[in-house]
Chains A and B, each alone.
Chain A
Amino acid sequence: MTDVDRRDFLMGAGFAAAGAAVPTEAAAIARPPKEMPPQAVGMLYDSTLCIGCKACVAACKAANNMPVDIPEHLSDWNETTWDSAEDLSGHTLNVIKVYRNGTVEQKDREIDGFAFIKRHCLHCVDPSCVSVCPVGAMKKDPVTGIVSYDPDACIGCRYCVYGCPFGVPQFDLNNPFGKIAKCEFCRHLQKDGKVPACCDVCPTGASLFGPVKDLEQEIERRLAAPAGTPYRFPRGKLGEDRPPNVGTIPSYIKGIYGEHEAGGTQVRYLAGVPFPKLGLPTVGPQSPASLAEGVQHTIYYWLIAPLVAFAGLAFLARRNAPRPDADNTPKSQGGRS
């Protein structure tokens, strides 16, 4: 018996699958990043404009037929009158949270200040949820870039919840027939030419809807202007003729959240307090989906490696497995008796 040959063969066939998967550099194996659809729509949330009124949360619930969310620890003073969602959940597609520090004196200040933050789906350019969904229940619209969810396809594996780098999709665990809940930019309203509910009601223009390209220019204008400059902040949808919110440019921190995170998103954030303090996770510029898919596509490239491995294994198994006519004792001995 030439064990050495066999071992070599095994290394060639059996480990080909895993072996081929292993690169020296993470970026080398990732599949190329995806491009933003040219007509992608997005949202800009400017934390410095937000007054924490939660009109967006209320409007979102109304527009999407979601019940109120009352956390257990608030239930004794709040029965069913007051929606006080604490986080995204199966009934809450967006939520306003607050960052507080020290004496909580001044808005948009990191030390002894506070700031508001709105959380909802960022509609990634290369969404993990779409990549991981085994049944294609999560889809990214090729034109608008909206990441949508189809409950009729969903099997409830919650891989999208697990995999989302921003912690957005939520499974309604308390409902035996629960489904995933995530912001879909009110695509049912957009069909009628309306603006997503949260941007529609935002009194200050903190939540602003519009094409991503235009939003990027708007962000540039805001960041270019020195703090204190009078500025007309658009409301509702960028380019729509609504009266603007007349104010002054606040002092922004450097950076735009969502520009590069996880390969870029269609929702952007501006703030006066560092993003990690606002609970926005620090995510690298590479989309997690591109790495996972890159590895998987390398292993299963046209199914070549598995098929070659199968052929080799079948050959070995046929040679080494006990012959059916050898005896009646099942699987008694191999070739090495």
Chain B
Amino acid sequence: MSIAAPLRRNLVTPTTLVLAALAVIGFLFIGMRLIYGLGAVTNLNSGYSWGIWVAIDIFIGTALGCGGFSMAILVYVFNRGEYHPLVRPALLGGLFGYTLGGMAAFTDLGRYWQAYNILLPWHWQPNSIMFEIALCLLAYTAVVWIEFAPVFLERWRFPAIKHFLDRWMFVFIALGVLLPFMHQSSFGSAVLVMGTKLSPLWFTVWLPLLFVVSAILMGYGVVMFEATVVSNSFGLPSEHALISKLSRVVGWVTVGWLVIRWADLLDRGVVSLAFAGDLKSWTFWIENALFAGTAVVFLTPAGRASQRASFLGAVALLVAGALYRLDALIIGLRPVGNWIYFPSLPELMVTIGIIALEILLYLVFIKMFAVLPVAEESSPRTADRRLP
């Protein structure tokens, strides 16, 4: 049995310094964007009104933050308590994935000083999928913080509040499963309005289902990824036994996802587009190959047994899910008019800075708070040869 404890390592390491520097650069550009406008920083245009800030920071970022959601399904809905050690790190990932995703959304808003309008009931427009996403994202971000709150309450010793929270935690756990179901599927619905502006390789009425299932998959992917990276980097107990059990489930869900995807493609008879030889068709194949590769790794006993293969499988799954979103939002787009888009350097630096900040905060939190499962004896480890 393992319990969670802070790692209590040095916060200032080369890794954290590099991440901090990247985050600072990103935030300088965010400041520039707020002062000089979106055009001064981004390459957005009329054809591509949503760039990587939306596609990567929000759509992919929150999907990567679905670890907490995916683990909650497994642990609380399927009652697989043995995976519990993976829940807190997953929640932590979700905490930053969603909080910083929300921040990126705010940065991306063209009229951010009016952003509060979304909270004013007389402005509500319930037909809008964006409205649903916005409220759901805000609510879920709050829920993740509440779900994670016991960690702070333990650390700063507020037993009364913690006790109260623990009693009612099931409500937030339920919300923590329901809300991502809603907004991750709505991310797919949000693309439904594109109609002919999105390549038929991605546009389908099944988009909501494909989005939410791939978000769950990415959630598992990120849990495996985190567990492997963290346990290796900090020399913690390996979670491979748990991961290899989990990966079988993930493999089957991936197969299910691919079956829906391809049945729909064949049903609509648009597979020929995948042989057009253009960028769209190539990314389509890469994306599908990555999903298929994941399934192969996770469904073969040898693949599951090998830590290295499992890790690669998790990475492939994350890249596949991310690419799927990037395709559905940017690469698969057929804008009206001959528009092209590639993010500008400042635009990229903002996204990189936000991701760097996510990783940085994750590292800081696991060192300061009881997130990671360490050995049964609660004393902090002393042999840290692999200090990053």
> Quick one: which of A11-28 are within 8 Å of B by CB?
14, 17-19, 21-23, 26
Q: Which of B171, B192, B209, B335 contacts A22 (CB 8 A)?
A: B209
Is A155 within 8 A of B49, CB to CB? no
Residue in A23, A289, A299, A324 whose CB lies within 8 Å of B193: A289
B-side contacts of A26, CB under 8 Å: 205
Beta-carbon contact of B46 and A88 below 8 Å = yes
- At the interface, yes or no: A157 with Cβ under 8 Å from chain B? yes
- Contact (Cβ within 8 A) A335 B185: no
* A1 adjacent to B37 (CB under 8 Å): no
Q: Could you say which residues of chain B place their CB within 8 Å of the CB of A300?
A: 132
Q: Is there contact, CB below 8 Å, between A295 and B189?
A: yes
Q: List residues of chain A with CB within 8 A of the CB of B132.
A: 296, 300
Interface string of A292-305 (1 = CB under 8 A from B): 11011101100000
The yes or no answer to B77 lying at the interface (CB within 8 A) is yes
Whether a CB of chain B sits under 8 angstroms from the CB of A59 is: no
Q: What mask results when residues 318 to 339 of chain B are scored 1 for a CB within 8 Å of chain A, else 0?
A: 0000000000000000011100
Q: Is A295 touching B205 in the complex (CB atoms < 8 A)?
A: yes
Whether B77 and A155, one on each chain, are in contact in the complex, defined by CB atoms closer than 8 angstroms, is no
Cβ-based interface call for B167 (8 A): yes
Chain B neighbourhood of A152, CB < 8 A? 114
B170 pairs with A329, CB closer than 8 A: no
- Kindly state the separation between the CA atoms of A89 and B44 in the bound complex, as whole angstroms: 12
Report whether A333 and B130 are in contact in the complex, using a CB–CB cutoff of 8 Å: no
CB distance from A323 to the nearest CB of B (A): 8
**Contact A89 B46, beta carbon cutoff 8 Å:** yes
A178 contacts partner chain B, Cβ-Cβ < 8 Å: yes
Beta-carbon contact of A320 and B130 below 8 Å: no
| Any B CB within 8 A of the CB of A74 | no
Q: By the criterion CB–CB under 8 Å, are B167 and A173 in contact?
A: no
Q: Does A6 contact B (CB under 8 A)?
A: yes
> Which residues does chain A contribute within 8 Å of B213, judged by CB atoms?
18
Enumerate chain B residues within 8 angstroms of A283, measured Cβ to Cβ.
Answer: 195-196
Known A154-B114, A296-B189: A134·B128 in contact at CB below 8 Å: yes
Residue-wise, chain B 121-162 has the 8 Å CB interface mask toward A (1 for contact) of 001110111111010000000000000001100100000000
A313-B117 in contact (CB<8A): no
Kindly supply a per-residue 1/0 record for chain A positions 191-206, scoring 1 wherever the CB is within 8 Å of any chain B CB and 0 otherwise: 0000000000000000
| Stretch in A107-115, A161-169, A213-221 with 4+ CB within 8 Å of B | A161-169
Is the pair A21, B77 in contact by a Cβ cutoff of 8 Å?
A: no
Chain B residues positioned under 8 Å from A173 (CB to CB): 37-39, 42, 44-45, 110
User: Is B222 at the interface (CB under 8 A from chain A)?
Assistant: no
Known: A21-B208, A296-B186. A330 touches B79 (CB 8 A): no
**Could you tell me which residues of chain A, from 50 to 80, have a CB within 8 Å of some CB in chain B?**
none
A173 to B3, CA, bound (A): 51
Question: Which candidate, A37-45, A125-133, A232-240, is the interface stretch facing chain B?
Answer: A125-133
Which residues between 77 and 121 of chain B lie within 8 Å of chain A, taking CB atoms? 77-84, 87-88, 108-112, 114-115, 117-118, 120
Residues from chain B with Cβ under 8 Å of A241 in the complex: none
Are A314 and B171 in touch, CB under 8 angstroms?
yes
With A167-B46, A173-B45, A310-B175 in contact, do A133 and B128 touch (Cβ < 8 Å)?
A: yes
**Do the beta carbons of A314 and B84 come within 8 Å of each other?**
no
Tell me the minimal C-beta distance from A133 to chain B in angstroms: 6
* Contacts across chains A and B counted by CB atoms under 8 Å: 277
Q: Is the CB of A17 within 8 A of B182?
A: yes
Does B12 interact with chain A (Cβ within 8 Å)? no
Contacts A132-B128, A333-B84: A291 and B195 contacting too (C-beta < 8 A)?
yes
Classify the secondary structure of A's interface with B: loop
Do A158 and B173 contact each other (CB < 8 Å), given the known contacts A18-B209, A22-B206, A23-B205? Answer: no
Known: A158-B50, A174-B40. A306 touches B117 (CB 8 A): no
CB-contact partner of A320 in B77, B131, B182, under 8 A: B77
Q: What's the interface size class on B, roughly?
A: 35 or more
Residue from A17, A135, A295 within 8 A of B123 (CB atoms)? A135
The size bracket of the interface on A is 35 or more
CA–CA, A156 to B175, complex, Å?
Answer: 29
CA distance A170 to B38 in the complex (A): 13
Q: Which residues of B contact A131 (CB under 8 A)?
A: 127-128, 193
Whether the pair A165, B178 counts as a contact (CB closer than 8 A) is: no
A230 at the interface (CB under 8 A from B): no
Any chain A CB within 8 A of the CB of B212? yes
In angstroms, Cα B47 to Cα A3, docked, is: 49
Complex: how many Å from CA A321 to CA B192? 36
Indicate if the CB atoms of A153 and B171 lie closer than 8 Å. no
Expressed in whole angstroms, the minimum distance between the Cβ of B64 and any Cβ of chain A is: 20
B28 located at the interface, meaning its Cβ lies under 8 Å from any Cβ of chain A in the complex: no
Q: Name B115's closest neighbour in chain A (CB-CB).
A: A155
Q: How far is the CB of B354 from chain A (nearest CB, A)?
A: 18
Supposing A136-B123, A155-B109, A279-B337 touch, asked if A6 and B77 sit within 8 A by C-beta, the answer is yes
Closest CB-CB distance, B375 to chain A, in whole Å? Answer: 13
Task: Check A229 for interface membership: any CB of B closer than 8 A.
Answer: no
Which chain B residue shows the least CB distance to A176? B37
Complex Cα spacing A6 to B181, Å: 18
B1 touches A288 (CB 8 A): no
Report A-chain residues with C-beta under 8 Å of the C-beta of B131: 134-135
- In the complex, A128 Cα to B171 Cα: how many Å? 36
Q: Verify A136–B125 contact, CB threshold 8 A.
A: yes
Is B20 in the interface zone, CB < 8 Å from A? no
Minimum-distance CB pairs A-B, first 10: A334-B81, A156-B110, A167-B336, A324-B166, A156-B111, A173-B39, A161-B49, A288-B195, A134-B131, A313-B174
Q: Residues of A at under 8 Å CB distance from B? A: 1, 3, 6-7, 10, 14, 17-19, 21-23, 26, 29, 87-89, 128, 131-136, 151-159, 161-167, 170-171, 173-179, 262, 279, 281-284, 286, 288-289, 291-293, 295-297, 299-300, 306, 309-310, 313-314, 316-322, 324, 329-337
List 23 contacting pairs A-B, 8 Å CB cutoff, sorted by A. Answer: A21-B189, A88-B46, A135-B123, A151-B111, A155-B114, A162-B193, A163-B197, A165-B196, A166-B336, A173-B39, A178-B110, A284-B195, A293-B127, A295-B189, A295-B208, A310-B175, A313-B174, A314-B174, A316-B79, A322-B84, A324-B163, A330-B150, A334-B83
